Chain A
């Protein structure tokens, strides 16, 4: 019969055992026991290390030497917490993901440190490591007591037989050493039987604590994520509808009107060919011009829907063409070796297009810079200008549109636009295969 278990339900593996006796032959209690013993050692280690580092750091903080010690201890306990997550995973079978807030990939050391300091999970890590000492101590005592009790009791008859057993006053109930030893043996067997369940219980209790202190609140996180995606999806649908309406209107007001006018002019010219050839010729000239303008309008419209060069050649030439059409001079700084997925290229392109439109319309900038580069799995795009700043994501529909494009790909857009100090639009788009 295959082992029936409900695998990792978030509390522990193989929980609950369909047949409780299975727990006896599984590896879980013994791994839990190892965990309990190591908890004590590791807890003691971190207690000593952190108390030393933090007290030294705090007392020396005034002399500035303490600051690097404090920063160092932060990274030390983060490492400690990461190790604990691995230990909990390896011995207790509970997976805990690193819950930390992402740090800005291209931020300075101090920016990264600031994010770390504001991350409550890092402080929870510290709390856990301090708690690990008393908890580990208790686990160690319980573990050692139970194991030695079981070992001593079960082997009691042997001691008694070989004369090493002295009945003291406490055991006077028994008339002989051997009867006492026999009772001890029975008790020992019961302890031996109960022991795995106790270890499993302690292990799971510890895992529960670790999950709450070392892990993130996944459910709330997922809920927030679903809300975010729902909003961004409905925005994406809205903007698709708006785009279609705009295209319809542009076609209707532009090219279609021109074509109607064109065919009228040509019809009229045909009528007048005999009676007034001069007028007919000038009508044909006008019609010719109209037709060229209609072509131009359709071409611009099509480019706005999706530029051919983006599909054919990728981001670099497409953005370079965007820059060439921008009324504000644009410096390009593109370091991309390979093509990124089409949806990422397209999102990046339209975000840059929107940003450059904003630069031209609102910023009064004299120059702008577009920087595109890869960072691991991310495509990073910065659009920077030296204009008046003061752009607001919540008031500017274009900026919100950029954000929606990025969020649809699980990326993000950050706009920094202090009044009078230019605008920086920073875009991060994941290029993963998912």
Chain B
């Protein structure tokens, strides 16, 4: 894959570049500011960009804002946001630009190299990846009609993995259950939450996120 990295911290930037190189990906550009990121994506059309939320000059959220802006210019350009903190709010703002090819992970997740690379590939392939911490924030939010309470513990597990953007196969692997069982859980979840059980896996993730954020 061809990757753009937007990160101002030298250590982390080099670490990620080395890790990508090691995994056989090509880093086409490394930038340090939001505007440079936009230029780099417009110019290189990478398969995926890895973007730090916090960058110069204001060190607040220019990475996120640049990502939102660039998705207006180069629609569907896959972006994986890395952040020192994950907040449901930022995830929401990012997902509003369309959930296709979007990832939002805690910086720490880079430490689990294979998981991180898998997430990166999923985002590059148009999938959605959300950090488990965001998902747990979404889950603990209190709703007026708390239909989540109707779910069995196992169904809740499946739902939170779905919200993270995991594929059915990955869910089956993690929970040590068969793919058919996962399917069955998912269809139960959808009927309990009154969600439209459409066939495409991506749209199911969207429905789950929409439900959790409402």
Contact = CB atoms under 8 A, between A and B. Distances in A.
A296 B108 contact: yes
A320 B89 CA distance: 9
Contacts of A326: 140
A329 B112 CA distance: 32
Contacts of B137: 321, 324-325
B208 to A, nearest CB: 17
B141 A308 contact: no
A94 interface: no
Interface in B86-116: 87-90, 106-108, 111-112
A130 to B, nearest CB: 57
Contacts of B136: 324
Which of the listed residues B106, B138, B141 has the most CB atoms from chain A within 10 Å of its own CB?
B141
Contacts of B140: 323-326, 329
Contacts of B111: 288, 291-292, 295
Contacts of B112: 292
A313 B94 CA distance: 14
B142 A299 contact: no
A331 interface: yes
Nearest to A316: B89
A309 interface: yes
B26 interface: no
Nearest to A313: B89
B84 interface: yes
Interface size range of chain A in the complex:
20 to 34
Nearest to B137: A324
Nearest to B111: A292
A309 B90 contact: yes
Given A292-B108, A317-B89, A321-B88, A312 B141 contact: no
Interface string B39-54: 0000000000000001
B101 to A, nearest CB: 24
Given A308-B54, A312-B60, A299 B85 contact: yes
Given A292-B108, A295-B108, A295-B111, A309 B141 contact: no
Interface string A282-313: 00000010011001100100110001110111
Contacts of B141: 320, 323-324
Given A291-B111, A292-B108, A324-B137, A308 B142 contact: no
Which of the listed residues A307, A317, A330 has the most CB atoms from chain B within 10 Å of its own CB?
A317
B88 A311 contact: no
Which of the listed residues B61, B107, B112, B142 has the most CB atoms from chain A within 10 Å of its own CB?
B142
A320 B138 CA distance: 10
A288 B140 CA distance: 29
A331 B142 contact: yes
A308 B84 contact: yes
B39 to A, nearest CB: 24
B84 A309 contact: no
A273 to B, nearest CB: 19
Given A325-B140, A330-B142, A308 B85 contact: yes
Contacts of A313: 61, 87, 89-90
B60 A311 contact: yes
Which of the listed residues B54, B60, B108 has the most CB atoms from chain A within 10 Å of its own CB?
B108
A157 B84 CA distance: 98
Contact of A324 (B54, B88, B107, B108): B88
Interface in A250-298: 288, 291-292, 295-296
Contact of B84 (A299, A324, A331): A299
A321 B142 CA distance: 12
Interface string B43-79: 0000000000010000011000000000000000000
Nearest to B106: A299
B15 to A, nearest CB: 12
Interface in B18-53: none
A324 B138 CA distance: 7
B61 to A, nearest CB: 5
A317 B84 contact: no
A325 B141 CA distance: 9
Contacts of A302: 84-85
Which of the listed residues A299, A311, A330 has the most CB atoms from chain B within 10 Å of its own CB?
A299
Given A324-B140, A324-B141, A312 B61 contact: yes
Nearest to A330: B142
A288 B141 CA distance: 32
Interface in A61-119: none
A308 B107 CA distance: 14
Interface string B172-192: 000000000000000000000
A295 B111 CA distance: 10
Given A295-B107, A320-B89, 12 more contacts: A295-B108, A299-B84, A307-B85, A309-B89, A309-B90, A312-B60, A313-B90, A317-B87, A321-B88, A324-B140, A326-B140, A330-B142
7 contacts: A291-B111, A308-B85, A309-B90, A313-B87, A313-B89, A317-B87, A325-B140
Which 6 pairs between the two chains have the least Cβ-Cβ distance?
Answer: A317-B89, A324-B137, A309-B87, A295-B108, A324-B140, A329-B142
